[in-house]
Amino acid sequence: MANKTFIANDESLNSYKFWVRTNGIDLSLFKKNPIMLWNHYRSSSWNSNKDEVLPIGVWENIRIEGDKLLADAHFDEKDKFAAEISRKVQENFLNMCSIGIEVIEESQDAPFIKQGQQRSTVTKCLLKEISIVDIGSNRNAIALYDNEGKIIELSDNNECPIARLNDTNSNEKNNNMKLIALKLGLSDAATQDEILSAITKLQDDNKTVVTLQQKIDAAEKETKEKHEAEAGKLIDEAVKAGKIEANGKEAFKTLFANDFDNAKKTLESISAKSNLASQVNHSAGASEKFVKLSWDEMDKKGMLAELKEADVDLYKSKFKEKFGKEPN
């Protein structure tokens, strides 16, 4: 017969208006001896025909999925009473189970308070047993054990030991929760789960923004380094070409740092200057070309305009030699 999976805890409010945080349930001791009881009892108080109620089975595949504590029921089929409970479970006459816990820590902090809650939330507890129950409400909704392992009866004659919420603190926390909800763009009637979900989304969005900003910063740094390297090269080439003086390099570095594209255009618009050596060489070459020719020879070859352009002093000398006066 296949084992049936039960939800042992789901963080909903029980009949005493508190709830048990699933991730706060310590399973370590229970997993060593995962006993299954009937209605949390180990004595004859529920049935005078039996001297003792032994465990009716064990729980297997105990796990937490989301906010749910799940376990698979494995009944002791050789025990007549347990076999009968098993039959009723398999035929859906019994469908509920209930945890028996020893409370370790309670909280009235806002993140752990649900709408309609009247007692503290059990944030940490030790799981003692899980029982198959006939009515999963009132005292069977949950069983509490004291630190000596004795069950605490939750009935009309016995006050639930879980502390009641402080009315003043509760109202203040509820108001704070409403303000938080409104800040998150939710209605003031938003549930705790909705608020936590919105906060989680906000945190995820913030992580995305941080990641994108890191990528942008890295890209900007890479671009800046490339621009600095290119600017240095362009400035050095400009000095070499005579476009700017060496003492103007720092000024152009500042221009490039503030506006790379415009600084580059400005530098490209400056004409390169010919150096003195090239001018001397050019003039010397021009003189050698024309000095041996007479005015008439150059006039015949149409070279006078070229002479004037290349060496104006030689042109004037040739003109005076031909005409006996300085050219106008």
Is the model more confident about 94 or about 41? 94
- For 39-51, the pLDDT digits (tens) are 887 754 445 455 4
User: What predicted TM-score, i.e. pTM, was given to this entire model?
Assistant: 0.48
- For 198-250, the pLDDT digits (tens) are 999 989 999 999 999 999 999 999 998 998 899 888 888 888 888 888 888 88
Q: How far is CA 308 from CA 272, 278, 316, 319, 323, in A?
A: 24, 18, 8, 10, 16
Q: What number is the average pLDDT over the span 81-85?
A: 92
Tokens standing for residue 155: 């009935």
Cβ atoms < 10 Å from Cβ of 272: 11
Alpha helical stretches, state H, the chain: 28-32, 80-90, 167-183, 192-240, 249-258, 260-269, 276-290, 295-300, 304-310, 312-323
pLDDT at 239: 86
Partners of 58 in beta bridges: 35, 74
Note whether 75 and 89 are within 8 A (CB). yes
Residue 195 pLDDT greater than 70, yes or no: yes
**Distance, CA of 56 to CA of 36 (rounded, Å):** 6
Q: What number is the average pLDDT over the span 128-152?
A: 72
Tokens standing for residue 310: 């290349």
pLDDT at 106: 92
Residues 6+ apart with CB under 8 A from 240: none
Can you tell me which residue has the tokens 């999976």? 5
As a whole number, the mean pLDDT across the chain is 83
Cβ atoms < 10 Å from Cβ of 75: 23
75 confidence band (pLDDT: 50, 70, 90): very high
Q: What number is the average pLDDT over the span 1-28?
A: 88
**Distance, CA of 69 to CA of 8 (rounded, Å):** 5
pLDDT at 266: 87
pLDDT at 140: 47
pLDDT at 156: 45
Residue ranges of domains in the chain: 4-166, 193-269, 276-323
**Distance, CA of 205 to CA of 209 (rounded, Å):** 6
Note whether 87 and 77 are within 8 A (CB). no
Spell out the SS3 assignment of 299-324: HHCCCHHHHHHHCHHHHHHHHHHHHC
Is the model more confident about 277 or about 243? 243
Residue 52 pLDDT greater than 60, yes or no: no
